[in-house]
C-alpha cells in the first residue's frame, strides 16, 4: 500500500502484531456492499466506465461468495479485510480494481463498514430482546394465578402475583429495546467520502452513496466522521445495561431454584450436574449469563479507555475497537437467546410460593392502611402495627393469630374487622392503582404484552403503546 514511500519491507514481527484480518474478516459483506456503492458513485462522476463498474461488482460478488463458503484465502500480510478484498479484486480484474480506491481512505472505509455491521446487528439484537420478552410473558401467563413474596433487602416485603414480577423484567427489556432503537439513529449516518481526514479533491455524490446503502444522512465534518466511535460506545453501553438486566433476572432464578427457596424448577435441558455429587442440579445457564455481564462491562470500558486520549483524527489505536464490539454483540445475542429458551422450560412451584406468601407479616402494610382508613395518621398507624408485630413475635404466632383484645390493647382503632385484612385474595384485589399488581391490572398488562407476538412483522418492532 505504501511501497512508494518506504524503501525497506515491513518487519515480519510488525506484520503479525498489526494484522486485523483474523477478526475483522467478518465485516466482508459490509465492506463489499460499501465498495459496490462507491463504484457506482465513481461511475456517476465519470471516473470509471459502466463496464469497469460491472467488472468491479462481479468480482466483488465472487469474492463475497468465496468468503461465505469458506473458500477464500486471507493473507495476513495484507493486514485487514479491506486490503484482502481489494488486492484480490485487482489481481483478478486488473486496472478496474486498482481504480476502486479513488477518493476513499481506509479511515472512512472502516468507519462505514462498522456502521453497516452495527446497523444490521442492532436489528438482530432488537429481535433477541423481543424474543426474551415473549418468553417472560409466556412464563407469566402459565403461572398467572401464582402469588409469591416480593422482597426488599432480600427480606419478605409484600405479596405480589408472580406474573407481575415477570412483567417487571419485560418493562426493563423494553427500555433496552428503546435504547437500541434510539442508538440506531446515530449509527445510520454515512461517513464514506470523508477520506483520511479532509475529504478529497475528487468530489463524489455522498447523498447518492448514502441512498444506495440505506443511510438516513451523511456526516458533516470529515475529521469527526473518521474518528467517531461514539455510536459503538453507545451500543456497548446499551448492551452492558442489557447484561445487567439479564444478570438480575438470572440472580432471581438462581435463588428461586435453590432448596432454600424452592420457588422454581429449571428443566434438565438447561441445568448441569456435578462430577462428584450425584444429587446436584446446577443453574449453569443463569450463572454463566450472570458472569458474562462482566464481559459486557469490560468491553465497554476497553473501548472508552482506548478512545479517551486520542487526538484528532484516526489513530491506529482505533483498530482495537472491533474485538470488544464483536464480543459484546455475540455475547449479548447468545445470552438473550439462551435465557429465553431456559424460561420456556422453567416451572414455578406454586405450592412453595403460596406457602411463603401465606406469611401474615407480608400484610403488615395493609394493616397500617386499615388503620389509616379509620382516621389514624399513617406514622401513628405504622407505629401501632409495629407494636402488633412485636407482640406476635413475643407470643410466637402470626399477626392473624393475635386476639382482638391484644390488638385493642395497642389501640382501640383496631376493630372486629381487623382479621379481614389477612385475606390474601382480597389484599391482591385491592391493589388496583396504575402499575400495582391486582389480578385485573396484571391481566390487562399480559394482554397488552401478548400483542408482541405479532410485532416482529412490524418493521419498527414497536411495543403496543397501551402497555405504558
Look up 153 and say whether it is catalytic. yes
Residues 6 or more apart whose Cβ sits within 8 Å of residue 200: 103, 104, 193
Residue owning grid cell 458474562: 292
How do strand 346-348 and strand 264-266 relate by DSSP bridges?
antiparallel
Catalytic hit among 12, 22, 258, 274: 274
Give helix then strand counts, H and E, for the chain.
19, 6
Using an 8 Å Cβ cutoff, are 180 and 129 in contact?
yes
Confirm whether 274 is a catalytic residue. yes
What Å distances lie between residue 224 and 63, 87, 160, CA to CA? 31, 28, 51
Burial 163-193 (b: 16+ CB within 10 A, else e): bbbbbbbbbbbbebbebbbebbeebbbbbbb
Distance CA 149, CA 143 (A): 14
Q: Residue 368 is placed in which grid cell?
A: 397500617
Task: Report in angstroms the alpha-carbon separations of 351 from 187, 281, 428.
Answer: 49, 20, 18
Residue 359: all three cell numbers together? 406469611
Do 353 and 264 touch, CB atoms closer than 8 A?
Answer: no
Q: What are 338's three cell numbers?
A: 439462551
In whole angstroms, how far apart are CA 66 and each of 61, 256, 369? Answer: 9, 49, 71
Q: Are 75 and 282 spatial neighbours (Cβ–Cβ below 8 Å)?
A: no
Give all strands (DSSP E) within 95-206, no chain letters.
147-152, 155-161, 189-190
Locus of grid cell 481489494: 86
In a 3-state reduction of DSSP, which class is residue 3? coil
Instruction: Please tell me what DSSP assigns to residue 202.
Output: S
Please name which of 186, 180, 190 lies closest in space to residue 238, comparing C-alpha atoms.
Answer: 180
193: left (phi over 0), alpha (psi -120 to 50) or beta: left
Distance CA 399, CA 156 (A): 15
Q: Which of 153, 227, 245, 258 is catalytic?
A: 153
Active centre residues (catalytic): 153, 274
Amino acid at each position: 500500500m505504501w511501497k512508494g514511500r518506504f524503501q525497506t519491507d515491513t518487519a515480519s514481527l510488525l506484520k503479525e502484531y498489526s494484522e486485523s484480518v483474523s477478526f475483522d474478516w467478518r465485516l466482508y459483506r459490509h465492506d463489499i456492499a460499501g465498495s459496490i456503492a462507491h463504484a457506482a458513485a465513481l461511475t456517476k462522476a465519470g471516473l470509471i466506465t459502466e463496464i469497469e463498474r460491472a467488472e468491479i461488482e462481479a468480482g466483488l460478488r465472487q469474492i463475497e461468495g468465496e468468503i461465505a463458503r469458506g473458500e477464500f484465502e486471507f493473507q495476513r500480510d495484507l493486514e485487514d479485510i479491506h486490503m484482502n478484498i481489494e488486492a484480490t479484486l485487482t489481481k483478478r480484474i486488473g486496472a478496474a480494481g486498482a481504480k476502486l480506491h479513488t477518493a476513499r481512505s481506509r479511515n472512512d472505509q472502516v468507519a462505514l463498514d462498522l456502521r453497516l455491521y452495527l446497523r444490521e446487528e442492532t436489528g438482530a439484537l432488537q429481535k433477541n430482546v423481543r424474543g426474551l420478552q415473549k418468553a417472560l410473558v409466556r412464563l407469566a401467563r402459565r403461572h398467572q394465578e401464582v402469588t409469591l413474596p416480593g422482597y426488599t433487602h432480600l427480606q419478605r416485603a409484600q405479596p405480589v402475583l408472580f406474573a407481575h414480577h415477570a412483567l417487571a423484567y419485560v418493562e426493563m427489556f423494553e427500555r433496552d429495546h428503546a435504547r437500541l432503537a434510539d442508538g440506531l439513529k446515530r449509527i445510520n449516518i454515512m461517513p464514506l467520502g470523508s477520506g483520511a481526514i479532509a475529504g478529497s479533491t475528487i468530489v463524489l455524490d455522498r447523498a447518492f452513496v448514502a441512498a444506495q446503502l440505506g443511510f438516513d444522512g451523511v456526516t458533516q465534518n470529515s475529521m469527526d466522521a473518521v474518528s467517531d466511535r461514539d455510536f459503538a460506545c453507545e451500543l456497548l453501553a446499551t448492551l452492558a445495561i442489557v447484561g445487567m438486566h439479564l444478570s438480575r433476572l438470572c440472580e432471581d432464578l438462581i435463588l428461586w431454584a435453590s432448596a432454600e427457596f424452592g420457588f422454581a424448577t429449571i428443566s434438565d435441558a438447561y441445568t448441569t450436574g456435578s462430577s462428584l455429587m450425584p444429587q446436584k442440579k446446577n443453574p449453569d445457564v443463569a450463572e454463566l449469563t450472570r458472569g458474562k455481564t462482566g464481559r459486557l462491562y469490560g468491553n465497554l470500558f476497553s473501548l472508552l479507555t482506548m478512545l479517551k486520549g486520542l487526538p484528532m483524527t484516526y489513530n491506529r489505536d482505533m483498530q482495537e475497537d472491533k474485538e470488544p464490539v464483536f464480543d459484546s454483540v455475540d455475547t449479548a445475542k447468545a445470552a438473550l437467546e439462551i435465557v429465553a429458551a431456559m424460561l420456556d422450560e422453567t416451572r414455578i412451584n406454586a405450592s412453595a410460593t403460596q406457602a411463603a406468601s401465606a406469611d401474615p407479616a407480608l400484610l403488615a402494610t395493609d394493616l397500617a392502611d386499615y388503620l389509616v382508613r379509620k382516621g389514624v395518621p399513617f406514622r401513628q398507624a405504622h407505629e401501632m402495627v409495629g407494636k402488633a408485630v412485636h407482640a406476635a413475635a413475643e407470643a410466637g404466632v402470626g399477626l392473624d393469630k393475635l386476639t382482638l383484645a391484644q390488638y385493642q390493647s395497642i389501640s382501640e382503632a383496631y376493630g372486629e374487622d381487623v382479621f379481614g385484612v389477612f385475606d390474601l385474595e382480597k389484599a391482591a384485589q385491592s391493589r388496583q392503582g396504575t402499575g400495582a399488581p391486582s389480578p385485573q391490572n396484571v391481566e390487562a398488562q399480559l394482554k397488552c404484552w401478548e400483542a408482541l407476538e405479532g410485532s416482529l412483522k412490524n418493521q419498527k418492532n414497536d411495543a403496543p403503546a397501551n402497555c405504558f
